[in-house]
Amino acid sequence: MLKKIQDLELSNTQLSGHIPEEIGNCNQLQTLYLFNTSISGPIPSRIGKLKRIQELSLYETQLSGHIPEEIGNCSELIFIDVSTNLLTGNIPRSFGKLKKLQDVRLWGNSFEGAIPDDFGNCTELKKFYATNNSLTGSIPRSFGNLVKLQELMLLNNSLVGAIPDYFGNYTELTSLDIAMNRLTGSIPRSFGKLTKLQYVSLWSNGFEGAIPDDFGNCTELKHFYVSNNFLIGSIPEKFWKTCEASGTNIMEQQFSGCNSR
């Protein structure tokens, strides 16, 4: 086995078969890219032996089974992408050990259960994608620690509860998609603190009440989707003025249905 190899890039090929357990012997490996191949089977538990791995990209393969708990031993990991696979089970709590993690992409699988609170330990996290899974429970309280978040994508799951108040602390946030869940309650006024927001998608939930006029402070906002909720009242004037000033096409924002119950 190539024990001294540091970077292994085999993506966009016709490779098939399984990831061998012997991958754990490549203890100098820093990047492993196997995306867009026909590799199948489970992610081997010995992946946890890669103590120097920083980037792990396995998207658009045919991987199945669970993400092994041993992933938490990859203490240098910054980026992981296992999206668009056949993975199942719960998201491992051991992700919480990865203090350097910045970018997590889990979308397009069949993950179930709650999003682990342990992600609150990953305070360097900037991007979290878990759309198109079967996740349940509420958005974890511990996510309030993730003040460096820039993109949070949880579209098309079965999440419940309200949008947490701490979302107002996400001052770096540019994109938020929590559409097609079972979220309820009002849209927090604290969104008005998120002056870097460009994309907000809240449609097909159970949100009630009015659209906060605080969104008028979000001067970078380009896309705002809130259809198929139970919102009432009129669209705030301050919000309209912000849209006009930023050149946003109002038709893109899908306000249809906002004023009916």
Give CA–CA dist 178/194, Å, rounded.
16
C-beta separation of 173 from 194 below 8 A: yes
Per-residue b/e over 179-191, b at no fewer than 16 CB within 10 Å? Answer: bbbebeeebbebb
- Tell me what pLDDT residue 243 has: 66
- Left if phi > 0, otherwise alpha if psi is -120 to 50, otherwise beta: which for 41? left
- Tell me what pLDDT residue 235 has: 79
Instruction: Count CA atoms closer than 13 A to 63's CA, side-chain side.
Output: 29
Q: Return per-residue pLDDT of the chain as tens, 261 residues.
A: 577 899 999 999 999 999 999 999 999 999 999 999 999 999 999 999 999 999 999 999 999 999 999 999 999 999 999 999 999 999 999 999 999 999 999 999 999 999 999 999 999 999 999 999 999 999 999 999 999 999 999 999 999 999 999 999 999 999 999 999 999 999 999 999 999 999 999 999 999 999 998 988 998 999 999 999 999 988 777 777 666 655 554 333 344 434 333
Taking the model in full, what pTM does it have? 0.92
Task: Tell me, rounded to whole angstroms, the distance of Cα 164 from its chain centroid.
Answer: 16
23, two tokens: 């991958």
Strands of the sheet containing 182-186, edge to edge, are: 160-161, 182-186, 206-209, 230-231
- Left if phi > 0, otherwise alpha if psi is -120 to 50, otherwise beta: which for 69? alpha
